[in-house]
């Protein structure tokens, strides 16, 4: 192993960053479902396009900020993962090799893609009553006030 690198500290940092990413994802899921449920549950909100537009814009702003935070933490996870997995190839004590190899992280692009898809589904869900009404030919599902 390389001199000067403290792999134990890197593993601790990896675990801490994993916790941070998990918390950020949990916040994203809670807010996403909360916004969607709140808008669709309340008839006045569901039928008012201005309010839905405001919720949509607010959610998009939140989602961008959340994705930025997740991305920063995920970049750290990927970097630590690369160091530990690279160290696994140099370890002479084979009983530790599988531990080092187990430290892997999803790529930042995979995380971004998943986050964007979920965000798009939430915004689409906010507008689903209007979309369904148009498809069914009912015309104006929501009021413009």
pTM of the predicted model, to two decimals? 0.83
Once rounded to an integer, what is the mean pLDDT over residues 43-48? 85
Task: Tell me the C-alpha distance between 128 and 15, whole Å.
Answer: 39
CB 40 within 8 A of CB 125: yes
Helices (H) and strands (E) in the chain, counts: 5, 0
SS3 48: strand
Confidence grade of residue 68 (pLDDT, cut at 50, 70, 90):
very high
pLDDT in tens, 8-30: 899 999 999 999 999 999 999 99
């Amino acid at each position: 192993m390389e001199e000067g690198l403290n792999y134990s500290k890197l593993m601790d940092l990896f675990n801490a960053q994993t916790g941070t990413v998990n918390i950020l994802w949990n916040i994203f899921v809670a807010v996403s479902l909360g916004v969607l449920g709140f808008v669709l549950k309340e008839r006045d909100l569901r039928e008012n396009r201005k309010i839905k537009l405001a919720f949509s814009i607010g959610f998009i702003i939140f989602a961008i900020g959340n994705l930025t935070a997740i991305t920063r933490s995920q970049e750290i996870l990927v970097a630590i993962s690369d160091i530990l997995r690279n160290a696994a190839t140099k370890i002479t004590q084979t009983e530790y090799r599988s531990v080092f190899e187990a430290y892997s992280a999803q790529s930042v692009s995979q995380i971004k893609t998943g986050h964007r898809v979920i965000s798009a589904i939430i915004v689409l869900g906010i507008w689903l009553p209007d979309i369904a009404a148009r498809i069914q030919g009912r015309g104006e599902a929501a009021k413009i006030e």
